[in-house]
Amino acid sequence: MSLLLNLIRQSRWILLLALIISIVGGLANAGLVAIINQALGASAERLPTLGWQFLLLALAVLVTRTLSQTIFVKLGQNTKAALRMKTIRSVIDASYQNLERQGASGALTVLTQDLDTIVIFFLSLPSLAMNGSIVLGCLAYLGYLSWQVLVFAVVTVLVGSLGFHVANTRAMFHLRSSRNREDDLVKDFRALFDGAKELKLHRRRRNAFVDESIAANVEAVRVQRTRGYVLYTAAASWGSMILLAFIGCVLFGLTRFQPVQAHVLSGYAVVFLYMIMPIEGLLSSIPSLSSAKVALERIDHVNRELPRENVEPADSATSFDSIVLNGVTHSYFREKENEVFTLGPVNLTFRPGELVYLIGGNGSGKTTLAKMIVGLYAPEGGRIELDGKPVEEADRDRYRQHFSVVFSDFFLFDELHGLDIDGLDSQAQQLLELLHLEHKVTIRDGKFSTTDLSQGQRKRLALLVTYLEDRPFYVFDEWAADQDPTFKEVFYRRLLPDLKARGKTVLVITHDDRYFSLADRYIKLDYGQIVATGDGRELEHQSLNAAA
Ligand code: ADP
């Protein structure tokens, strides 16, 4: 809610203006009924005056309606754009750890569905304001005709709202739970594409996935939404029934105890009939109000679950003297297995111009350690020191700018975003040749001509990007795993020593024991603990001995 309030505050004057225009329109509309009513019983000489008044009011209704609807359409789209950017900002500014924990589905549903729900809410605002003021205007006119009838009308409205409130509470429950299922559906939709190969190859898996997972979620959404909206229909019928009961009671009941003149009675009838449409309009816009409320809750939720990382934004770093990990730890809690994986405490020091191999079995924590070293995970225990100074929360973004990384699950942008280097294209072209990609890919205006390549080739492009970034600390997570033997040779014997010779620190996560001897130093992990460190050449002796 606070989100919407904030946005409303920003455009409060224009909103106020639009509301006033809508209300004026609604009142003008109610004024029409008074004129119609007067015209019915008016003498011939009064008719022209009434006619002019009618014309003026009708024009006012037309102009105000167009104006207020235009303003609300604009406000709706502005709000959508603002909320969209705000949500994107909170995703961008959140810590990696939180992003990883939250997953994408929640934010994606917000960015696609919920924002549209908010727009629909804005589109219904002018008719809400207008209908509301027509009803209020009509009630006022009723009060002018007879105050007893007005009191009776107010009591009726209260009774009607009570029933509505009960239905609305239940319906909101259904809308909320259906909205939660939408998140699961988005997850399924992603699996539909990401897992297309696996689904195609296995008919029973495909059927089970569609019939059990997707169909169950689709069905749940269908049932919950239907229940919710049927409840609103029931509530709207209740509202209409109450209105008819009210009209009936006034026309046939109240007038018996309190005799009224024929023209007053016909006045009541005209006003009642005139009020029915706007009241129905009001009743039918309540579901869109409630949906908007649920959508706002979700938007708020996503924004709250992704708190801003408290960092001071920084630019690329060019050098460092030392990076020290001092007793750092990180743990994952795996809910399903009710198990905790803990990395560390780890004590390590890195200096410029070092080539370090990080080795160990699968699941020993190599990638986790790499994410700690580069500052994606804040250490839960211990601390990291850069050039002798502890890296505090605010410094973390600056700290991260020291690293160029190719993760094993890297993402390749098809544009070289944020690299404004003189002669970028020609520099990139040279690297393409070095990486044997010059026949596959070209680079123009910082854009790759294609990224539809084999995994090994895409990894070479990712490597190219890190070269262009030219930062002091390089991390490669099983980079060579997808390369053929000739290119492995190039990587371990040429590229890595070159980087080292340029004074870069290079941390290589690898299983290629043939090349272990090339490391200045190795670090071996097992179950999240460093079990051995030392010179690369020693390691080769060890593995040779083990083989013998
Ligand atoms: P390695 O890179 O050595 O193969 P990882 O660092 O990827 O190992 O993983 C170490 C352990 O942490 C594994 O047991 C893995 O299941 C667990 N793990 C990795 N990432 C996550 C995560 N995002 N959430 C929970 N557990 C994780």
Query: Is the domain defined by 323-547 classed in CATH 3.40.50.300?
Result: yes
Q: Is the CB of 331 under 6 A from ligand 1?
A: no
The model's confidence at residue 281, banded by pLDDT at 50, 70 and 90, is confident
Q: Which residues pair with 348 in a beta bridge?
A: 325
pLDDT for 128 beyond 90: no
How many CB atoms neighbour CB 133 within 10 A? 22
Domain with CATH 1.20.1560.10 in the chain: 2-305
Domain with CATH 3.40.50.300 in the chain: 323-547
Q: Is the CB of 364 under 6 A from ligand 1?
A: yes
Peptide bond into 259 cis (omega under 30): no
pLDDT for 496 beyond 80: yes
Q: Are strands 521-526 and 505-509 parallel, antiparallel or unpaired?
A: unpaired
Mutate to test the pocket of ligand 1, among 102, 332, 340 (most ligand atoms within 8 A of CB): 332
Q: Is the CB of 344 under 6 A from ligand 1?
A: no
Q: Closest Cα to residue 402, out of 322, 519, 497?
A: 322
The model's confidence at residue 3, banded by pLDDT at 50, 70 and 90, is low
Specify the pLDDT at position 540: 67
Torsion angle in degrees (nearest 10) through CA of 65, 70, 75, 80: 120
Spacing, Cα 110 to ligand 1 middle (Å):
29
Average pLDDT estimate for 354-376: 95
Fold of 2-305: ABC transporter transmembrane region fold (1.20.1560)
Atom of ligand 1 nearest to the CA of 408: 2
pLDDT for 511 beyond 60: yes
Average pLDDT estimate for 420-442: 85
pLDDT for 544 beyond 80: no
- Sheet containing strand 473-477, edge to edge, reads 403-406, 473-477, 505-509, 355-360, 521-526, 529-534
Atom of ligand 1 nearest to the CA of 334: 25
Lowest mean pLDDT among 400-404, 416-420, 462-466: 416-420
In terms of pLDDT, which residue wins out, 251 or 540? 251
Q: Is the CB of 500 under 6 A from ligand 1?
A: no
Q: Is the CB of 95 under 6 A from ligand 1?
A: no
Lowest mean pLDDT among 148-152, 293-297, 385-389: 148-152
Tally of residues, the chain: 548
CA-proximal residue: ligand 1, atom 25 (nearest): 332
In terms of pLDDT, which residue wins out, 274 or 208? 208
Please enumerate in sequence order all residues whose Cβ is within 8 A of that of 249, keeping only pairs 6 or more positions apart, or say none: 152
Specify the pLDDT at position 389: 94
End-to-end alpha-carbon separation of the chain, Å? 69
Specify the pLDDT at position 545: 64
Spacing, Cα 333 to ligand 1 middle (Å):
10
The model's confidence at residue 541, banded by pLDDT at 50, 70 and 90, is low
Average pLDDT estimate for 506-525: 93
CA-proximal residue: ligand 1, atom 11 (nearest): 363
The model's confidence at residue 543, banded by pLDDT at 50, 70 and 90, is low
- Rounded to the nearest integer, the mean pLDDT of the chain is 88
CA distance 507 to 369: 11
Q: Closest Cα to residue 1, out of 231, 289, 281, 284?
A: 289
Atom of ligand 1 nearest to the CA of 365: 6
Atom of ligand 1 nearest to the CA of 370: 6
pLDDT for 320 beyond 90: yes
Atom of ligand 1 nearest to the CA of 525: 3
The pLDDT tens digits for 471-494 are: 999 999 999 998 989 889 999 999
Long-range contacts of 487-495 (CB under 8 A, 24+ apart): 487/436, 487/456, 487/460, 488/512, 488/515, 492/518, 493/518, 495/463
